[in-house]
Structure 1
Amino acid sequence: MNTLMSIASGVLLMSALTLAQAEEPLGCVDVSVGGYKAPDYNCLSQQMGNNPEGAAAAQKNLEAMNVPINKRPPNQVGLATPAATSTRMGNTFGTSVKPQRPPAP
């Protein structure tokens, strides 16, 4: 009878510990070992992921990244810009149709 009670109390204690661990922590714990801080990244990720406005923000990010072709800068589309042409032509930009090249050895 005594062993049955000790087994039952052990089972109840283990279930209570499991329930206590199942609750979400209120805050994250930063651990410092030897002067180095190690934050709990799993806890921080959970806190950042529970944002109800996260889906709307993700949708706005996708829309911002999908800029129409006529709104993109010329260097992203592959067109020549004055700065790129000036770099390619060297000191002959605006004075010659042939780019500046070093003399042949």
Structure 2
Amino acid sequence: MKQWIGVTAAIGLMLAVNGARGDEAPACIEVTVGGYKTPDYKCLSRQMGNDPEAAAAAQQARQGLEVPVNERAPNSIGLATPAATGVRMGNTFGTSVKPQRPPAPVPNSPLPR
């Protein structure tokens, strides 16, 4: 029971400290464990999130995803393209309906005859 009271008090204290700061961004803390420094990537990402160029790039990415299906490239929606069909058919592309395949392997028995 005392542990829960301590945990609740610690959470309340953290919330009060964060609320007292206002709109200031918290400092990023690097932790050193066994001689290796580990930065707080979530904090660094949050600090980098106010870039106006990144917002414009995200807007362009969203607009790129809104392209109608009939205007997208065939390979982006899983349709066959002449290049992909040529790779699949081999040297018989355009001359035969059967794809080029290597000759079937001859089964060899490990037992002597």
For the superposition of Structure 1 and Structure 2, which TM-score range results when normalised by the shorter chain?
A: 0.5 to 0.7
- 2:47 is aligned to 47
Instruction: Could you tell me which runs of 5 or more consecutive residues in structure 2 were left unpaired when the two chains were aligned.
Output: 1-12, 107-113
Q: Give 1:36 deviation, angstroms.
A: 1.3
**CA distance in 1 between partners of 2:78 and 2:42 (Å):** 42
Q: 1:32 to 1:90 in 2, by over 3 A?
A: same
CA drift of 1:75 comes to 1.4
2:85 aligns with: 85
Q: Structure 2 vs 1, CA of residues 77 and 19 (structure 1 numbering), >3 Å: closer, same or farther? A: closer
User: Structure 1 or 2: larger helix share?
Assistant: 1
Q: 1:47 offset after TM fit, Å?
A: 1.7
Q: Partners in 1 of 2:78 and 2:17 — Cα distance?
A: 60
Rounded Cα–Cα distance in structure 1 between residues aligned with 2:76 and 2:58:
23
Rg (Cα) greater in structure: 1
Task: Tell me the residue number matched to 2:73.
Answer: 73
Residues 46 and 85 from structure 1, CA distance in 2 versus in 1: closer, same or farther, beyond 3 angstroms? Answer: closer
33 and 78 in structure 1: CA distance in 2 versus 1, 3 angstrom threshold: closer
- TM-score (structure 2 length as normaliser): 0.52
Other structure's SS at 1:97 match: coil
- Residue 89 of structure 1, CA deviation: 1.3
SS at 1:99 equivalent:
coil
Of all paired residues, the percent bearing the same amino acid is 62
Unaligned runs of 5+ in 1: 1-14
What do you get for the CA RMSD once the two structures are aligned?
3.5
How many angstroms does 1:103 deviate by?
4.7
Residue aligned with 2:48, SS = helix
Give the SS at the match of 2:88: helix
Q: CA deviation at 1:20?
A: 8.7
